[in-house]
Amino acid sequence: MSQLQGIRVLELSDGLVDLGGRMLAELGATVISVSRRDTSTQARELAWGHGKHRYSWPEDVSSLLPVLAGADMFLDDRRRGPALPENLLVENDRLIHVIARPYSADGPRSGHVATDLTLMAQSGLMHITGDPDRPPLRFPGEQAYALTGIQVATAGLMALHARHRTGQGQRVDVSALQSTTLANYREAIMYEWTGRIGTRTGNRLVRGKSGVRQVWPCADGYVTWSMIDNPNMMRAVVKVLEQHNAAGELAAVDWSAILVADMPQDVIDHWQSILEAFFARHPKVQLGQWSLELGWGLSVIQNLDEVRESDHLAQRGLFVPVTSDTGTTRLPGPLFGHDAGGPPPPRTLSPKATLNSFPGWEAFE
Amino acid sequence: MDLADNGAMVIKIESARRLDLGRRSPPFAGKSTDHDGSAFFAQSNTSKKSVTLNLSDPRGVELARQLVLWADVVVENFGPGYMERIGLGYDTLRQIKPDIILASVSVAGRSGPMAGFRGYGNSAAAHSGHAALSGWPDRPPHMPPLAYGDVVAPMFATVAVLSALEYRQRTGKGQHLDISQIEPMVHVIADLFAAPQARKTGNSDPVMSPHGVYPCAGHEKWIAIATETDAQWRSICAVLRIAPDPVFDTAQDRVTHADAVDQALGRATAVVDRDTLLAELAAAGVPAAAVQDGRDVFEDPELRAAGHFVAVDHPVLGTSMMPTPPMKFSHTPACVTAAPCLGAHNKDVFCDMLGMSARDVEELHAQGVIA
């Protein structure tokens, strides 16, 4: 039996609930998805739609009512306003009705349209992302939608837990702006307590009086690593440099006696030049191996092909083949490791059917 | 934190000797040496209770085992093997309480060649493809400005715990959940893994144009604009008095000529007041927003109206603003209370819950066990 086997979910998706429905499907729920997103792509359909039973948007929304009548959860994406008139919502006191909106239901921006990009901008995340000489930058993909989707799944599961105790469903309002802003855990609080406003620092990590690099070219790509106040880590790195006669002045530094964050910038820059030369001479596989074995805290910056081909992720079974009418694509499948049994969800992107007459939830289980 | 804010009783086991990194993280109210003065910790640990236990002492481990008997869920993020070494591995926990749910959160998970990987906040960004696909096409990979893996993985852990509780409700069985930071980071860019040839695109979108961030009059005044329909593009042109150009009529046309569209739009926005432009675009139904900084976010009227920040009384910080969950339940509302001072609930937990005498607690405190 899978984690959520037997849980019935209707999803009306428009970006905000897509990942939430996908997570519930991955955990074994039966998810019927009706999308009204105009700006989807085949990649977005594949990523968020696999494992769901998909329908095209019906000409008559009342055809959704029999689906809703038997659902445990209704993921109601109101990114561009309500899809269903309130008076069509059936009386189902066990229904968990999760409504995702860009903003709060009755705040000053209620009713404003938003997209992933505009939500990211308002969250404060973009202001601190990117290079100082370029415009603010978003994160890759659609992270405001993703963060909201996870909160939608969380809200649905919390309400499910409550329903076991009360026997009652309930309505849950999820704000996409709040979901996204929560990820920006530092900037608002830093302003509140210090008056400081963060800026874009590129790939520099600024702490205390100085800044350190985060991204380094190596012989065949890039790695990320920073000089931080962790004496054991610094000693482990310098030890290998010494073995290669490349440590220079770093060999004489007592890492327990100094705070990197308090060192003058020119000293840090000189130390970093020694490290830069060393990293540039070695391939990322070698640097990654040293990091794993010796606790450097260095990570290889992997491109998507390298992530897909990772031995580690292969052994953990992260990527699964998903078939669609355009072929087979390897996509992330399991969300995490667990002991529950049950078959995985269908590893297919089903074609969108037309909802003329609903065959009943049992037909999908 | 989501669980605690929504009514779960969450007891955080801490060490007074090896402080939670959050307690040493700025900003601070007063001195940075005050382990109860970190506003960062306070924000990240609302509504929890704190006890101190020395888990390198067998007596401390024994008390932890008694708490396992009380708990539904144990969450840990120690290095691989540590829980087993101190006698709190999953098999042991299951002997104590057969239906216990153990959630283990780590950088790379508990199995596979990288299981022992010691990483930091941004390691998962590197190993998941985030860093490679962040930034401008003509520049090196870009690291997120914060430990994004530390955000996404706990959210997945919350979903994992809730789904395991649902499973236990129906089967009576607990389980061991293994949450890696890398895998949730892969999941949230699944659309890029699904694309035939994903590449760095800055702020652009495969099907929307204009879709970017544009300068407005003044220093660091930026506006984000996305265009989902041709009608919205026509509204943008009307608001900014951009002469209609048939080359840009359709979304496909604009995506093909995205650089030219962005340049034309950037020239037009650069000379106008951002707030005025925002109001006009909002009235025209165009998705647009200010690129907000930390002050803007803290003072944002929408977030304030939504109750995103609530004033909470804290013994050291005083009355301060704490974030609330982004969801509002009609029947089971959340309640955010102050983060705990270190060991603030030792008496409540060890005396009132576990039945120890105050004298025993004091003695174990003096002996460095409840510490």
User: Any idea of the CA torsion for B194, B196, B202, B206, to the nearest 10 degrees?
Assistant: -90
How far, in Å, are A162, B97, B356 from residue B88 at the CA level?
30, 12, 21
Q: A303-361, pLDDT tens digit by residue?
A: 999 999 999 999 999 999 999 999 999 999 999 999 998 888 999 999 999 888 888 99
The shortest CB-CB distance from B203 to any of A1, A138, A194 is to A138
Bridge partners of B105, per DSSP, are B179
Distance of CA A350 to the CA centre of its chain: 24
Question: How many angstroms separate the CA of residue A357 from the nearest CA in chain B?
Answer: 31
Nearest CA in chain B to A213: B143
Buried b or exposed e, range A148-187, using 16+ CB within 10 angstroms: bbbbbbbbbbbbbbbbeeeeebbbbbbbbbbbbbbbbbbb
Dist CA A52 CA A188 (whole Å): 38
Dist CA B350 CA B353 (whole Å): 6
What are chain A's domains?
A: 8-185+310-364 (3.40.50.10540), 204-303 (3.30.1540.10)
Residue B6 at interface with chain A, using a CB cutoff of 8 Å: yes
Dist CA B150 CA A183 (whole Å): 9
Q: A269-313, pLDDT tens digit by residue?
A: 999 999 999 999 999 999 999 999 998 999 999 999 999 999 999
Non-local CB neighbours of A137 within 8 Å, separated by 6+ positions = A126, A129, A130, A131, A200, B134, B135, B136, B142, B202, B203, B213
Dist CA B198 CA A46 (whole Å): 14
To test the contact with chain A by mutation, choose from B223, B297, B317 the residue with the greatest count of A C-beta atoms within 10 A, namely: B297
pLDDT surpassing 80 at residue A52 = yes
pLDDT band per the 50, 70, 90 thresholds, residue A206:
confident
pLDDT band per the 50, 70, 90 thresholds, residue A111:
confident
Residue A187 at interface with chain B, using a CB cutoff of 8 Å: yes
Say if CB A123 and CB B292 are below 8 A apart.
Answer: yes
Predicted local confidence at residue B195, as pLDDT? 95
Q: What is the DSSP letter of B201?
A: -
Predicted local confidence at residue A288, as pLDDT? 94
The CA-based angle B203-A144-B207, given to 5 degrees, is 45
pLDDT mean over A77-93: 81
Residue A82 in 3-state DSSP? Answer: coil
To test the contact with chain B by mutation, choose from A35, A127, A173, A216 the residue with the greatest count of B C-beta atoms within 10 A, namely: A127
Non-local CB neighbours of B65 within 8 Å, separated by 6+ positions = B87, B88, B92, B96
Dist CA A238 CA A250 (whole Å): 7
Nearest CA in chain A to B8: A158
The shortest CB-CB distance from A38 to any of B119, B130, B228 is to B228
Predicted local confidence at residue A300, as pLDDT? 96
pLDDT surpassing 90 at residue A161 = yes
Q: What is the DSSP letter of B349?
A: I
Residue A2 in 3-state DSSP? Answer: coil
pLDDT surpassing 80 at residue A77 = yes
Nearest CA in chain B to A293: B117
User: Considering only CA atoms, which of B235, B230, B288 is closest in space to residue A114?
Assistant: B288
**CB < 8 Å from B in window 4-33 of A:** 4, 6-7, 19, 22-23, 27
Around A170, how many Cα atoms within 13 Å sit in the side-chain half-sphere? 24
Dist CA A12 CA B160 (whole Å): 23
Predicted local confidence at residue B297, as pLDDT? 98
The boundaries of every CATH 3.30.1540.10 domain in chain B are 221-292
Nearest CA in chain B to A181: B297
Look up residue A312 and give its two tokens: 């580690």
User: Considering only CA atoms, which of A329, A39, A36 is closest in space to residue B204?
Assistant: A39
Q: What is the DSSP letter of B189?
A: T
Residue A185 φ/ψ region, left for φ over 0, alpha for ψ in the -120 to 50 degree band, beta for the rest: alpha
pLDDT surpassing 90 at residue A193 = yes
Mean pLDDT by 10 residues, chain B (371 residues): 93 95 90 91 97 97 98 94 95 98 96 87 93 95 94 98 97 97 98 93 96 97 97 97 93 96 97 98 97 98 97 96 96 96 98 97 97 96
Dist CA A262 CA B114 (whole Å): 33
Question: How many angstroms separate the CA of residue B178 from the nearest CA in chain A?
Answer: 5
**B-chain residues near A166 (CB < 8 A):** 331-332
Residue A46 at interface with chain B, using a CB cutoff of 8 Å: yes
Q: What is the ipTM of this complex?
A: 0.97
Q: A137-151, pLDDT tens digit by residue?
A: 999 999 999 999 999
Say if CB A158 and CB A125 are below 8 A apart.
Answer: no
Dist CA A183 CA A198 (whole Å): 15
pLDDT mean over A154-178: 97
pLDDT band per the 50, 70, 90 thresholds, residue A90:
low
Bridge partners of A222, per DSSP, are A217
| Given the residues B34, B150, B178, B205, the one annotated as active site | B150
CATH of domain B221-292: 3.30.1540.10
Nearest CA in chain B to A150: B155
Question: How many angstroms separate the CA of residue B360 from the nearest CA in chain A?
Answer: 37
Predicted local confidence at residue A89, as pLDDT? 66
Evaluate whether the domain defined by B2-192+298-366 bears CATH number 3.90.920.10: no
pTM: 0.97
Residue A178 at interface with chain B, using a CB cutoff of 8 Å: yes
Strands (E), A64-170: 73-77, 96-101
The shortest CB-CB distance from B303 to any of A121, A181, A329 is to A181
How far, in Å, are A113, A191, B35, B185 from residue B151 at the CA level?
26, 20, 23, 10
pLDDT band per the 50, 70, 90 thresholds, residue A261:
confident
**A-chain residues near B27 (CB < 8 A):** 189-190, 192-194
Q: Is B150 a catalytic residue?
A: yes
Question: How many angstroms separate the CA of residue B228 from the nearest CA in chain A?
Answer: 7
The boundaries of every CATH 3.40.50.10540 domain in chain B are 2-192+298-366
Predicted local confidence at residue A18, as pLDDT? 98
The CA-based angle B259-B246-B260, given to 5 degrees, is 10
User: Considering only CA atoms, which of A5, A188, A18 is closest in space to residue A100?
Assistant: A18
Q: Is A313's CB within 8 Å of B146's CB?
A: no
Do the strands A8-13 and A30-35 form a parallel or antiparallel pair, or are they unpaired? parallel
pLDDT surpassing 70 at residue A202 = yes
Predicted local confidence at residue A103, as pLDDT? 97
Q: Is B189's CB within 8 Å of A41's CB?
A: no
pLDDT surpassing 90 at residue A223 = yes
pLDDT mean over A250-275: 93
pLDDT mean over A46-66: 92
To test the contact with chain A by mutation, choose from B24, B166, B177, B205 the residue with the greatest count of A C-beta atoms within 10 A, namely: B166
Say if CB B127 and CB A300 are below 8 A apart.
Answer: yes
Dist CA A322 CA A50 (whole Å): 7
User: Considering only CA atoms, which of B163, B189, B104 is closest in space to residue A24?
Assistant: B163
Distance of CA B197 to the CA centre of its chain: 29
pLDDT surpassing 70 at residue A22 = yes
